[in-house]
Amino acid sequence: MSLPYRVFVVDDDPVVLDSLQLLLASAGLETEGFSSADALLASPDLARAGCLVVDVRLPGMSGLELVRRLRFEGRGIPAVMITGHFEALADAQAEADGILAVLHKPFTADELIHWVERAFELRASGSRP
């Protein structure tokens, strides 16, 4: 499948990062992986991000701070937050920050793919998260 956008995955655990990329690739989605928010921000391909799949807890800048920064800079990219910890992110606040969903580990492949596809639909329609 050739899409104009990629799924940018940000997780500091290399095993989780690889697993998420393999899962998304198995659904025909092109991915790019990053171990930190700073690594993603330094990417020359950031404009190709159709969706972020980002861990809430990252070293340095958190996943939530990353999404907020991108939104502040006018680069709002639909985001799916993932977490292995209980995170009290209110639905209204998450939506205001451009977060489509907060998935708690372990989540199903279908859940993740559903939300990534929803993000791509938003990007294709020109809607902002």
DSSP state, residue 106: S
Q: Residue 81 is part of a domain; what is its CATH number?
A: 3.40.50.2300
Please tell me the pTM assigned to this model: 0.89
In a domain, 111, yes or no: yes
1 part of a folded domain: no
Residue 129 CB contacts under 8 Å (≥ 6 apart), including other chains: 71, 76, 77, 78, 79, 98, 99, 100, 119, 122
Residue 11: pLDDT band (50, 70, 90) is very high
Is 124 or 93 the better-scoring residue by pLDDT?
Answer: 124
Give residue-wise pLDDT tens across range 61-118. 999 899 989 989 988 789 999 987 765 554 545 666 678 888 888 899 999 999 999 9
Q: Are 56 and 11 in contact (CB under 8 A)?
A: no
Q: 49 with 67: CB under 8 angstroms?
A: no
Q: In the beta sheet, which residues pair with residue 55?
A: 82
- Which structural domain, as residue segments, surrounds residue 18? 6-125
pLDDT at 1 over 50: no
Query: Cβ–Cβ contacts within 10 Å for residue 99, how many?
Result: 25
DSSP string computed for 34-81: ESSHHHHHT-TTGGGEEEEEEES--SSS-HHHHHHHHHHTT----EEE
The reply to whether 82 falls in a domain is yes
Q: What is the total count of domains within the chain?
A: 1
Instruction: Work out the average pLDDT over 10-26.
Output: 96
